[in-house]
Amino acid sequence: MPLPAQERLTLIRVKIERAKKHIDDLDVACNAFFTTQPNIIRFEIDPKAKQRTYYVGSIRDIPSEIAAITGDALNNIRSALDHLAYQLVDAAGATSTVQTSFPIYDSPEKYKTDFVRKIKGMRQDAIDAIDAIRPYKGGNDALWRLHSLNNIDKHRLLITVSMMNSSHSMTPSQKAEVTKRFRGSMPSDPLPNLVGIHIASPMRNIPLKTGDALLTIPESEVEQYMQFRFHVAFAEHQIIEGYSVVETLKQMADLVDNIVSSFAPLHK
């Protein structure tokens, strides 16, 4: 007998909530990793050019635990979609098969020719709703990345992650430019406090290595306590590189949670 709609959603969300717990654990593990290397940055001065270059003085390998937790989170997010597919078949009064799953493909062409076997037994309104999501590369790239990363984790020991420089302290000229723009747009408002404010660092090749230069600035731009922030990033070539593992997983979990919610009327 088919389950009530609310029970279906509850069962699917178990996977999403488990993924969010893994993401919280991952955030803690990443922060703990960064606290073990507080003196990662060095600098060199070029007296002729009157410049200072900041670079990576030393860097530790990212613990394998971080990649393992990342894989666990990916698996639970992806599994939530497969549970959704199973429940949509059940809601239609049909019987799922070993191939029942939420279809995600590398191209729209492959999706059109192959997805039927994965959604067999679903009502037409559910199939139409899946079509509207465009679950393939070039249609919904976030879902495609989720699917691709999860497949890697199933067939390889660990997802590839790397340390990345995400931002650095604003220099005096950058602060002056922000202040100028603020005065031009909101002249009557008090000026913002820019102490401790960071600016995004440019995307660099990954993985970050000892000796990599992060920033070169004139000596006149040097702040006494120049700071650099880092994050653990995905480093899977041709899928996703340089983006924060924690933030990307949060976005994927939210995306799948919203998809599950949007299918709620189709469980009845």
Strands (E) across 26-137 are located at: 41-46, 51-56
Phi-psi region of 114 (alpha: psi -120 to 50; beta: other; left: phi over 0): alpha
pTM of the model: 0.89
- Alpha carbon of residue 179 to chain centroid: 32
Res 117: pLDDT? 94
Which residue range forms the structural domain that includes residue 220?
5-267
Q: Is 242 helix (H, G, I), strand (E, B) or coil?
A: strand
Q: Is 235 helix (H, G, I), strand (E, B) or coil?
A: strand
**Which amino acid does the sequence have at 57?**
G
Model pLDDT for residues 48-86, shown as the tens digit of each residue: 999 999 999 888 889 999 999 999 999 999 999 999 999
**Domain tally, the chain:** 1
Structure tokens at 125: 């309104």
Model pLDDT for residues 86-137, shown as the tens digit of each residue: 999 988 999 999 999 999 999 999 999 999 999 999 999 999 999 999 999 9
* Torsion 197-228-240-86 (CA) sign: negative
* Eight-state DSSP code of residue 213: E
